[in-house]
Amino acid sequence: MSPLPRPVYLDLCRIHLPLAGWVSILHRLSGAVLFLGFPFAIWLLSISLAHESGFAEVRAWLALPLAKLALLGLVWLFALHYFAGLRHLALDVHWGTSLTAARRSSVGVLVLSGAATLVAAWGVFV
């Protein structure tokens, strides 16, 4: 009996990943980015709290358009991580494990994180 032929490589562009899979991957990636960005945020906080000129310096940095865009990106990552984490907790206790419920909760995570980002954008840019 000869062994079954196995694929030599997986073409990740041809694999169809369901929306729940993308939300799960985004949850992990957002957690990693937030974890790696945490020391930078603490550094900015320490500069702003050190003295009044440090606060003005950080405020000037955050007034730059690229910094505002990065801040909105971090808000989206945090909101996505938060809502996807709640979704994963619900799945851990077997709430919403059916296929349709999993799809709905995945869409809900993306919609809620987008809505939270739009609310933050309104506060940042207006």
How far apart (Å, rounded) are the C-alpha atoms in residues 110 and 101?
A: 14
CATH number at residue 44: 1.20.1300.10
Q: What's the chain's average pLDDT?
A: 93
Q: Could you tell me if 69 and 125 are in contact, meaning their C-beta atoms sit under 8 angstroms apart?
A: no
Asked, for residue 24, whether it belongs to a domain, the answer is yes
CB atoms within 10 A of CB 126: 5
Predicted confidence (pLDDT) per residue in 8-60, tens digit: 677 767 778 899 999 999 999 999 999 999 999 999 999 999 999 999 999 99
Confidence band, pLDDT 50/70/90 cuts, at residue 1: low
Asked, for residue 71, whether it belongs to a domain, the answer is yes
How far apart (Å, rounded) are the C-alpha atoms in residues 41 and 34?
A: 10
Number of domains composing the chain:
1
| Higher per-residue pLDDT: 13 or 98 | 98
Give me the domain span that covers residue 117: 19-125
Confidence band, pLDDT 50/70/90 cuts, at residue 5: confident
pLDDT at 7: 65
Structure tokens at 40: 């930078």
Asked, for residue 7, whether it belongs to a domain, the answer is no
Asked, for residue 72, whether it belongs to a domain, the answer is yes
Query: For 67-84, what is the mean pLDDT?
Result: 97
Percent over 70 (pLDDT), the chain: 95
Confidence band, pLDDT 50/70/90 cuts, at residue 124: confident
Asked, for residue 78, whether it belongs to a domain, the answer is yes
How far apart (Å, rounded) are the C-alpha atoms in residues 61 and 54?
A: 11
Burial class from Cβ neighbours inside 10 Å (0-12, 13-18, 19+) for residue 12 reads: exposed
- The SS3 call for residue 15 is coil
Of 100, 104, 71, nearest in space to 87 by CA: 104
Asked, for residue 95, whether it belongs to a domain, the answer is yes
Q: Would residue 96 be called left, alpha or beta, if left means φ above 0 and alpha means ψ between -120 and 50 degrees? A: left
Asked, for residue 14, whether it belongs to a domain, the answer is no
